[in-house]
Structure 1
Amino acid sequence: MRRYEESIIEFDEIQAPHTKWSTVYEILDSFSWAMLLVMVLFTFFCRPFWVSGNSMEPTLQNHNWVAVTTIGFHAQRGDIVVVTQPNARHEPLIKRIIAVEGDTVDIDVQAHTVSVNGEILDEPYISEPIEKSGDMTFPIRVPQGHVFVMGDNRNDSLDSRSSMIGFIDTRYLAGKAAFRLIPVGQWKIG
């Protein structure tokens, strides 16, 4: 009986021979699970969006990729959003919400200020003073179900100051930019 017990090998000690094909299988298996995770993430939680143009500089640069989410999203002042409303550029826009329904927006080009409901906005995210007010007449009240958006690069942004874009119907807000995907390592959006 003793001889029999000595020849028993624990199942965990047995290892299949490691071949080239088993390595390939392990890599493909890991890759498949990673792709499935990415698909679930981008299907149910967020969508990638490519930034085209420099209207959001310095916050977002041309060719950045951002993750846009609708989870718990309710349009608020300061949110960076993707707008799918048909417009003169015929492409989605990424802009910052300056005012929501019922707010009154005023732009004073001489003083280089943007005011909402009589209060001048503190805008640390812009790099140069505003010099263009567009073709809209200010002050202007944001209608119900709409928002007023502007790019952070105020002097090179086609946004709600122009009648070509105007107020944005909240039904056309694809979501809020949650974090930066590319460039890698610069996740935070200011």
Structure 2
Amino acid sequence: MRKSRGKGGLWETVRFAAILFVIALLLRTFIVAPFSIPSGSMLPTLMIGDFLFVAKWPYGYSAASLPFGAGSDGERWLGAAPERGDVVVFRYPGGGDDDYIKRVIGLPGDTVQMRDGSLWLNGEPVPKTRIADYLMPISLNSPCRTVGEESERIVEGPDGAPVCAYPRYRETLPGGRSYAILDQARIPADDTLPIAVPEGHYFVMGDNRDDSEDSRFPTSVGGVGLLPADKLIGRAAILFFSTDGSAAFSNPASWVRAARWDRIGRSVER
């Protein structure tokens, strides 16, 4: 009898583990997936070392968002289209398996242009208001990276520690969606020709406008170009962890010290 119970116990354990695996696979495939922020292109909204959940159901599913590239390129099933202002994760349209994160600025049928560092949509300027500087704590994974040496400003933060001060603005899209952006310096991408967004594509930009390779740049030079809808993976939802990069993998206690506790649980601005 003991031997029989032992076999039954092993089978129940295996069956339970298999069920958990299937549930986790279904959740990751159709509901949410984790994503980590590798660069500062979305400052001040997202920092290097942020880990967030990406909601996969709002925009439906495609070969880019399903495991093993299931489906055909150019196809998307279920879901709705992104809205202006959504922060989206997508498969890089220039090839490969890299995933990027940017904010949707232009929808199909829109015309997007940058003039003297300001965004224009359909021939109208998008309101841009100067607000207080963004004070970013300097850490191992978040150095004071600036565009041009003249842009670097390291000042004393509220707690006495050095922080990187970035010029910050509030941009408000048609319809009222509002979010903060950084505008550090004058760069060539501050002035572009009008770009018409074709059907089935989106114009995306990083919130750190002068340090983002986005739809202002074609894939031939490392930019995103106009983003095809079938490359969408999902909408950025909520931060579940954030680290300053000082943790050692072999020392679990260091992860507690390295965690940016004030960022955990934040919803991503939409």
Shift of 1:88: 7.7
Shift of 1:59: 0.1
Partner of 2:41: 55
Partner of 1:14: none
- Call closer, same or farther: CA 1:107–1:137 in 2, change over 3 Å: closer
Q: Does 1:45 align with 2:28?
A: no
CA distance, structure 2, for counterparts of residue 189 and residue 140 of structure 1:
27
Equivalent residue for 1:127, pick from 161, 166, 182: 182
Contact kept? 1:136, 1:162, Cα under 8 Å: no
CA distance, structure 1, for counterparts of residue 38 and residue 96 of structure 2:
11
Shift of 1:151: 0.3
Q: How does 1:1-190 map to 2 (within 5 A)?
A: 41-73=27-59, 74-87=81-94, 91-109=98-116, 112-122=117-127, 123=171, 124-128=179-183, 131-132=186-187, 134=189, 137-164=192-219, 165-183=224-242, 185-190=264-269
CA distance, structure 1, for counterparts of residue 49 and residue 100 of structure 2:
13
CA distance, structure 1, for counterparts of residue 192 and residue 120 of structure 2:
14
Contact kept? 2:114, 2:192, Cα under 8 Å: no
**Larger strand percent:** 2
Shift of 1:137: 4.4
Residue 92 of structure 2 aligns to which amino acid in structure 1? Q
Structure 2, unpaired ranges of 5+: 1-12, 60-80, 128-170, 172-178, 243-260
Shift of 1:163: 1.4
- Call closer, same or farther: CA 1:174–1:156 in 2, change over 3 Å: same
TM-score by length of 2: 0.52
Identity among equivalent pairs (%): 35
Shift of 1:39: 5.5
Structure 1, unpaired ranges of 5+: 1-27
Q: Which of structures 1 and 2 has the bigger CA Rg?
A: 1
SS of equivalent to 1:126: strand
Shift of 1:120: 2.2
Contact kept? 1:55, 1:156, Cα under 8 Å: yes
User: Number of paired residues?
Assistant: 159
Please give the root-mean-square deviation of Cα atoms over the aligned residues, in Å: 3.0
